[in-house]
Chain A
Amino acid sequence: RKEVEQDPGPFNVPEGATVAFNCTYSNSASQSFFWYRQDCRKEPKLLMSVYSSGNEDGRFTAQLNRASQYISLLIRDSKLSDSATYLCVVNGGTGGFKTIFGAGTRLFVKA
């Protein structure tokens, strides 16, 4: 089992739709969590950190469920410009340096 798993998609949604991605992680000692966005043939960029209480940034909401070991990203009112790959990142745990990236979920928003 991969340490961090994401549904690869692609998710094809119309503009204005609400879409949600989940990311599961296997290391219960993980301590910090992020969502990064990666455009085609570009570098990843931080979208938002994920806090235990959940956090919102405009149309984006991230939540952490430690009991079930997953994080989620909700995008409301999807825009064409939201089309990208969304990478889940999990940090921490035992055994040295532990930053694990998920393989990403691809989103296409269509007019």
Chain B
Amino acid sequence: IAGITQAPTSQILAAGRRMTLRCTQDMRHNAMYWYRQDLGLGLRLIHYSNTAGTTGKGEVPDGYSVSRANTDDFPLTLASAVPSQTSVYFCASSENSDIYNEQFFGPGTRLTVL
């Protein structure tokens, strides 16, 4: 069982380019999340999805979009990348959106925007 996989592992991207970060989970979890982690700031929630077909905005949603067409996949798209989006991106999932549930994280994508 893989848990959560993310692709790519790392990417260097020119500013202005479009980029989609992929996230897939095989745990049949209803809730999924995208975070970015920057030095000194901890993880910040970008977007979340409580169940397939629904999404919501987190703390730092600007410049990012998500979709949740099915239970397993939760891609994150940067429509036009900017250098401030250089970060490590973690996808996570939990059984449901109950605040008492553990979140399981993918291995992360290191993105550099030049």
Contact = CB atoms under 8 A, between A and B. Distances in A.
A91 interface: yes
A43 interface: yes
Interface string A1-41: 00010001000000000000000000000011010000000
Contact of A43 (B42, B100, B105): B105
B89 to A, nearest CB: 11
Contacts of B100: 31-32, 49, 91
Contacts of B48: 97
A31 B31 CA distance: 19
A71 interface: no
- By secondary structure, the A interface counts as strand
Interface residues of A, number: 22
B42 A101 contact: yes
A43 B90 contact: yes
B41 interface: yes
A103 B41 contact: yes
Interface residues of B, number: 21
Contact of B99 (A4, A43, A91): A91
A42 B35 CA distance: 14
Nearest to A4: B42
Given A31-B99, A97-B58, A45 B42 contact: no
A96 B114 CA distance: 34
B40 interface: yes
B14 interface: no
Contacts of B99: 31-32, 91-92, 98-99
Most A CB contacts (10 A, CB to CB) among B43, B45, B107 go to B43
A98 to B, nearest CB: 8
Top 6 closest pairs, chain A to chain B, by CB:
A43-B105, A91-B99, A103-B42, A101-B43, A101-B42, A46-B102
Given A49-B100, A99-B103, A101-B44, 15 more contacts: A4-B42, A8-B40, A31-B100, A32-B99, A42-B107, A42-B108, A46-B102, A92-B99, A96-B56, A97-B97, A98-B99, A99-B33, A101-B43, A102-B42, A104-B42
